[in-house]
Structure 1
């Protein structure tokens, strides 16, 4: 049955092809004579097949030529790249063989470039630090250079570069210590404990162990270890500082109610007010008071439409009575980012923003943060520090 269908389909295909090449007759008249020329279907198909085969062969040859040229070009480029790499390595080996002086000169130039680049970005590096815990290896490094110069004169240049590296890493350590000290002082002025912040900062850390090896025999030079610790402390303190409320949450007319005990506007009795109320028109923008991550959006009893931002280390800011929420949970925001609009939702007598600052879920007065932070940031950023003053809105 299946074979019959296949045969019938093949016959239909043959018939269709034959239909393309019907038997044709031509006549030619020459000197009064008429001559008939007959072209059979089979002859026409042979001629057509020969032409198609010639075209296919020509196309295949052209494609092969193009592919061959592309392969040759690729091989040539690869060869040039390999030759360039080998030449670079060989030239460097030749420099080492020609003398350590050339290598030392190159390393000195690189060290000079690194020092100038760093100092150009952060300013002159300090020679001393208030803590006095950073070593000064200048004198000892000078003795080492002099001894090497007497014992192995050709290595003098390398010893000098090593001395410059140690002096440079110690200067960077002092710089990090000064910056960390400024940030710690600013945090204490706001009534917070820098040690608690540093501990909290290490609670969510991890990853594979990749030791730093900077000394001989795969050891860690203590001066580089000291620099790593200072840099980590500086980063922890400065990151904590920028996450402390420092920006007015809205550009409003005035504070209509302060933090602490007050007369409740609904009952007329004494009550505790856990934040600041900022009076303003419905629809006025509400701004994030500091950098952080949005941890809640929605309705809370008494607060109406509400947004909460977690700033790390147990610090949280709350924005209530919103007419519109413009943030989503998990979103990272910076100081001054629009997170909603002034409204009159929840337990409210008129359009305003209720703003709270909470530490470990305990409400604290936001006013000292908002009043002190611009000056604190300015002092912490003096001396080419990374922390920058945060402007107040309104």
Structure 2
């Protein structure tokens, strides 16, 4: 079968390349040239090989050029990417510096605004204080960040300032709380009891607005401590502002003191629950402390009277009035005009009957009126405009 096939192939090749004869005439002579089939096939094979070699060579050159062009383009793209990334990093670093500068300006603004309201913040630690001090650790952090990541050094410095500010604010709040506590104790009151009464959570509510200082929702202990210290300071100073400290009327003449006396109507021994300030009808009566008017009207024995709730279970009562200058629910400040002296109710003549009551138990108003102004002045020395 193979022999027949080979023979058929040779027959086809001979048909394609038959023997050829050429004659040439030169100088009157004729020459004949015969080209055999085998020679023609050999020449055709050589030509085919040369053509194939040329095609392969050209294809290789073309492929090489394509690959070279592609590699060159890839290199250019990589160079462009590197240049773009480097420019972006440079831009980010510039923006980081700008961000740190903005944060520093904001921190300057915050500190100046706070100091304008509460005075210079104390940075010195005192014996017995429990406020944290992160200054040494913050300095080490700034040094480490500056060495490892110079472009973030500005942010590290801002963080250090922020922590120092928070701790100094906590220190200020604790010192003001201690001053208020000392003043309250000097007036015979218990500051912890006052806080408990003011911090009553039995009627509170509202949507939960969680406070956090980190992205994971946690709160830095130093910020938590600041919040607690400010809350305590606010409660104590609010309680202090409600302590009677202003004369409710002219103190030129107190016609009757607190405690045991002979009743002016019966002459028998009796308990007098307040101070009587003698004065002409129509003379002004002032609120003895900050609070809210809780009652305006008549009470048996007191005649026309006003009661002011100062919080903490503390209340003041003004009796025998001839006129009212305040209404129920009205907030009043210490020294606000609330009425006029009269002689209504169980009274022998125009005067103001003034009471101070704690949890509805009468206490002597004189220590408050005599000591409170001086005590409060000392306590407020650490308030806005005072000493630290």
1:134 aligns with 2:147: no
Q: Number of aligned pairs?
A: 296
User: What is the CA distance between 1:96 and its match in structure 2?
Assistant: 4.3
Q: Which moved more, 1:250-259 or 1:281-290?
A: 250-259
Verify the 8 A CA contact 1:242 1:291 in the aligned structure 2: yes
Partner of 1:211: 210
**Could you tell me how far apart the structure 1 residues matched to 2:143 and 2:129 are?**
27
Instruction: Trace 1:26-175 onto structure 2 (pairs within 5 A).
Output: 96=92, 98-127=94-123, 128-129=125-126, 131-175=128-172
**Could you tell me how far apart the structure 2 residues matched to 1:96 and 1:359 are?**
64
Q: Which moved more, 1:375-384 or 1:220-229?
A: 375-384
**Could you tell me how far apart the structure 2 residues matched to 1:320 and 1:386 are?**
37
**Could you tell me how far apart the structure 2 residues matched to 1:373 and 1:199 are?**
22
CA distance 1:281–1:387, change in 2 (3 Å): farther
Q: TM-score, normalised by structure 1?
A: 0.72
Verify the 8 A CA contact 1:377 1:387 in the aligned structure 2: no
Q: TM-score, normalised by structure 2?
A: 0.73
Verify the 8 A CA contact 2:286 2:339 in the aligned structure 1: yes
1:274 aligns with 2:273: yes
User: What is the CA distance between 1:130 and its match in structure 2?
Assistant: 5.3
**Could you tell me how far apart the structure 2 residues matched to 1:386 and 1:334 are?**
20
Partner of 1:297: 296
SS in 2 for 1:347: coil
The gaps in structure 1 that reach 5 residues or longer are 1-92, 389-394
**Could you tell me how far apart the structure 2 residues matched to 1:350 and 1:387 are?**
44
**Could you tell me how far apart the structure 2 residues matched to 1:384 and 1:244 are?**
17
User: What is the CA distance between 1:114 and its match in structure 2?
Assistant: 2.1
**Could you tell me how far apart the structure 2 residues matched to 1:331 and 1:387 are?**
30
**Could you tell me how far apart the structure 1 residues matched to 2:330 and 2:118 are?**
31
Give the number of the structure whose alpha-carbon radius of gyration is greater: 2
* Aligned counterpart for 2:178 among listed residues 181, 196, 205: 181
Verify the 8 A CA contact 1:134 1:170 in the aligned structure 2: yes
The gaps in structure 2 that reach 5 residues or longer are 1-88
Partner of 1:370: 369
4+ residue runs over 6 A deviation: none
Verify the 8 A CA contact 2:93 2:151 in the aligned structure 1: no
**Could you tell me how far apart the structure 2 residues matched to 1:336 and 1:365 are?**
20
CA distance 1:321–1:282, change in 2 (3 Å): same
Higher relative contact order (CA 8 A, sep 6+): 2
1:309-342: CA deviations, max 9, x gaps?
1111110100101111222111111111111111
1:200 aligns with 2:188: no
Q: Which moved more, 1:192-201 or 1:361-370?
A: 192-201
1:197-223: CA deviations, max 9, x gaps?
111112144322212111242211111
**Could you tell me how far apart the structure 2 residues matched to 1:94 and 1:365 are?**
74
Verify the 8 A CA contact 1:309 1:317 in the aligned structure 2: yes
SS in 2 for 1:173: helix
User: What is the CA distance between 1:123 and its match in structure 2?
Assistant: 2.4
User: What is the CA distance between 1:161 and its match in structure 2?
Assistant: 0.6
Verify the 8 A CA contact 2:117 2:384 in the aligned structure 1: no
**Could you tell me how far apart the structure 1 residues matched to 2:350 and 2:148 are?**
83
